Amino acid sequence: MDLPPPFQPPERVLLGPGPSPTAPSVLQALALPTIGHLDPRFLDVMDEVRGMLRTLFGTANELTFPMSGTGSAGMETCLVNLIEPGDAVLVGVNGVFGTRMCEVARRAGAEVTAVEAEWGRALTADDFRRAAGGAKFKLLCAVHAETSTGALTEIAPLRAVADELGAMLVVDCVTSLGGLPVELDAWGVDAAYSGTQKCLSCPPGLAPISFSARAEEALRARKQPVQSWYLDLTLVANYWGGERAYHHTAPINMLYGLHEALRLVLEEGLEQRFARHARNARAFWAGLAAMELELLAPEAERLVPLTSIRVPDGFDAAEVRRFLLEQYAVEIGGGLGPLKGKIWRVGLMGNGSTRKNVELCLSALRLGLIAQGRRPRGDPFDAAQEVYAESVA
Ligand SMILES: *Cc1c(COP(=O)(O)O)cnc(C)c1O
């Protein structure tokens, strides 16, 4: 076989639904020399990662650490550890990730009831209450930030519903962690998971999770062993906690990367980071409105880190994306499932959330529209500039 040359990735501006651009110092951390996963110095890294994750999640939960695997492994960890065959589980479905939660829960043996909302809309406490119809459930599951549509579901009001149903509250924080306030303890969340490649600006590969004391109790009270050996928290927790017992070899360099990514988040400050994400999203929305582009999610239910734009009638959605990639090296996402060909998805996440990227994306979209014969009347840059001028004052 001919030896291929070393791989050199092309230059890309990652403004899709993830991965987001990796911070340069995170790339440097990934390239540091590998040490043993039981080395005393590595144990310090693990402890520091856990401490920083607690701050990001807004929790004092002891059982807080990153699982090996991507965000979906975090989802599966929460569900397989808390579900035993026959358990009733209520899942909010307003996009791809709620749909995926149903599938994972079913495979773990749960009796799943889906709470449906139109894709692009949020789910409310009353939606869950109505769908439950007075029955009892082991888990109430919700996606905080539905990346497939750009809709934000408020989590705090779901605690009262979970209490009425006798359920633990499980939340997907993959696209919210590091980009939007996440307050597990204040909201009364029992289990949550996230991923590294959205608002944390780290490559994909780890799934931070957090379990409340009540979820830990449920784990200890299981009648059957957890169906997945790899994701069994009763085993994995012995490596991250007390005994430091070997379970599987931790992805050491990925943990260096996450350590640095979390450090960067806290160095910026959570409030400042959320404000930066919100400011850039609002400027982007103003620019889109000036070009008469419509957004899928109504403003009150709209996600800051990810914006879904309706593809205007007569436009080839894939062609515009190709134009952005070829002419500007800008990657944006398309629609999934029923929204395929109907929306574009733009992520302004982590290091990708900058004024420069907002203006680049507005410019590239404007020229993409012109290339297909529609010249927007309004000036997107003036509109964005107004938002920036306001937020400085
Ligand atoms: C990306 C994402 C996931 C899945 O994460 P992977 O890293 O792709 O496995 C789950 N939930 C939400 C809301 C996401 O955005």
| Residue-wise DSSP of 64-77 | EEEEES-HHHHHHH
Residue 244 corresponds to which amino acid?
Answer: R
Ligand 1 atom nearest 73 alpha carbon: 9
The C-alpha atoms of residue 197 and residue 174 are separated, in whole angstroms, by 9
Q: How far is CA 334 from CA 15, 31, 43, 331, 363, in A?
A: 11, 32, 41, 10, 18
Distance 121 CA to ligand 1 centre (A): 18
- Tell me the H-state helices in 71-157: 71-82, 96-107, 125-132
Q: Residue 374: its pLDDT value, please?
A: 87
Write the pLDDT tens digit of every residue in 133-165: 999 999 999 999 999 999 999 999 999 999 999
Q: Token pair of 266, please?
A: 């806290």
Residue 262 CB neighbours (<10 A): 25
Contact 344, 333 (CB under 8 A): yes
The C-alpha atoms of residue 20 and residue 14 are separated, in whole angstroms, by 5
Mean pLDDT value across residues 327-338:
97
In this model, does residue 392 exceed pLDDT 80?
no
Residues in the chain: 393
Return phi, psi of residue 29, to 5°: -65, -40
Ligand 1 atom nearest 204 alpha carbon: 7
Beta-carbon contacts of 350 under 8 Å, excluding residues fewer than 6 positions away, are 20, 21, 23, 178, 179, 198, 199, 200, 201
Nearest 5°: CA angle at 236, between 68 and 66?
40
Nearest 5°: CA angle at 150, between 58 and 130?
80
Q: Is the CB of 18 under 6 A from ligand 1?
A: yes
Distance 291 CA to ligand 1 centre (A): 30
Q: Token pair of 60, please?
A: 């004092």
Report the DSSP beta bridge partners of residue 152.
145
Residue of 240, 243, 188 lying closest to 215 (CA atoms): 188
In this model, does residue 393 exceed pLDDT 70?
no
Task: Decide: helix, strand or coil at residue 188.
Answer: coil
Q: Is the CB of 204 under 6 A from ligand 1?
A: yes
- Helices and strands, number each (H, E), in the chain: 14, 14
Residue 308 CB neighbours (<10 A): 28
- Cis, peptide link before residue 19, omega less than 30° from 0: yes
Residue of 295, 300, 18 lying closest to 177 (CA atoms): 18
Q: Token pair of 101, please?
A: 């939660």
Write the pLDDT tens digit of every residue in 306-330: 999 999 999 999 999 999 999 999 9
Average pLDDT, the chain: 97
Write the pLDDT tens digit of every residue in 242-281: 789 999 999 999 999 999 999 999 999 999 999 999 999 9
Distance 174 CA to ligand 1 centre (A): 6
| Mutational test site, ligand 1, from 78, 102, 147, max ligand atoms within 8 Å of CB | 147
Q: How far is CA 89 from CA 67, 131, 132, 161, in A?
A: 23, 11, 10, 13
Distance 253 CA to ligand 1 centre (A): 21
Q: What is the CA radius of gyration of the chain?
A: 21
* Domains observed in the chain: 24-266 (3.40.640.10), 270-392 (3.90.1150.10)
In this model, does residue 109 exceed pLDDT 60?
yes
Q: Residue 1: its pLDDT value, please?
A: 85
DSSP 218-233: HHHT-SS--S-STT-H
| Mutational test site, ligand 1, from 20, 70, 96, 209, max ligand atoms within 8 Å of CB | 70
Q: Token pair of 233, please?
A: 């928290």
The C-alpha atoms of residue 206 and residue 68 are separated, in whole angstroms, by 5
Q: Residue 243: its pLDDT value, please?
A: 85
Q: Is the CB of 71 under 6 A from ligand 1?
A: yes
Q: The whole model's pTM is what?
A: 0.97
Q: Is the CB of 173 under 6 A from ligand 1?
A: no
